[in-house]
Amino acid sequence: MADAPAKLRIDKWLWHARFFKTRSLAAKQVSGGHVRVNSNRVLKPAQTVGPGDVLTFAQGRQVRVVRINALGERRGPAPEAQTLYTDLTEKQDAPPPNPKYEGKGRPSKRERRALDLSRRSDD
């Protein structure tokens, strides 16, 4: 190949950038109408994207917003994939930590009984 293409299919780019594990998962997300390019909804995985385009899509429970920096020639390792885009997603606060037992270690039988009684009285 002489030069890298100026455009690349959106499903292929999402797969190269390691947002989806397989290209078919990326294509399914695009064809489901869950991806936007420059705030326009895309329904075809064959839609082409290039450097400078802004993609908005759901990944898990988070909505990702990324700007394409480069197209990439292959699906390489994660550090290489991270150079293909700039993440514009707003940082979310960390979820609160899981509640923990406030005593020391495992509760004794007496403490368990007291805990059971307190739970029963709430019903």
Rounded Cα–Cα distance for residues 37 and 20 (Å): 17
Q: How confident is the model at residue 1 (pLDDT cuts 50, 70, 90)?
A: very low
In this prediction, residues 64-82 reach a mean pLDDT of: 93
Rounded Cα–Cα distance for residues 40 and 77 (Å): 30
Q: Which two tokens stand for residue 23?
A: 């290209």
Exposure class string for 84-113: b at 16+ Cβ within 10 A, else e: bbeeeeeeeeeeeeeeeeeeeeeeeeeeee
Q: How confident is the model at residue 5 (pLDDT cuts 50, 70, 90)?
A: low
Rounded Cα–Cα distance for residues 66 and 84 (Å): 10
Task: Quickly name the fold that domain 8-87 has.
Answer: 3.10.290
Q: Which two tokens stand for residue 62?
A: 């988070």
pLDDT over 90 (residue 94): no
Q: Please write the tens of the pLDDT for every residue from 6-48.
A: 899 999 999 999 999 999 999 999 999 999 999 999 999 999 9
Q: Please write the tens of the pLDDT for every residue from 37-70.
A: 999 999 999 999 999 999 999 988 889 999 999 9
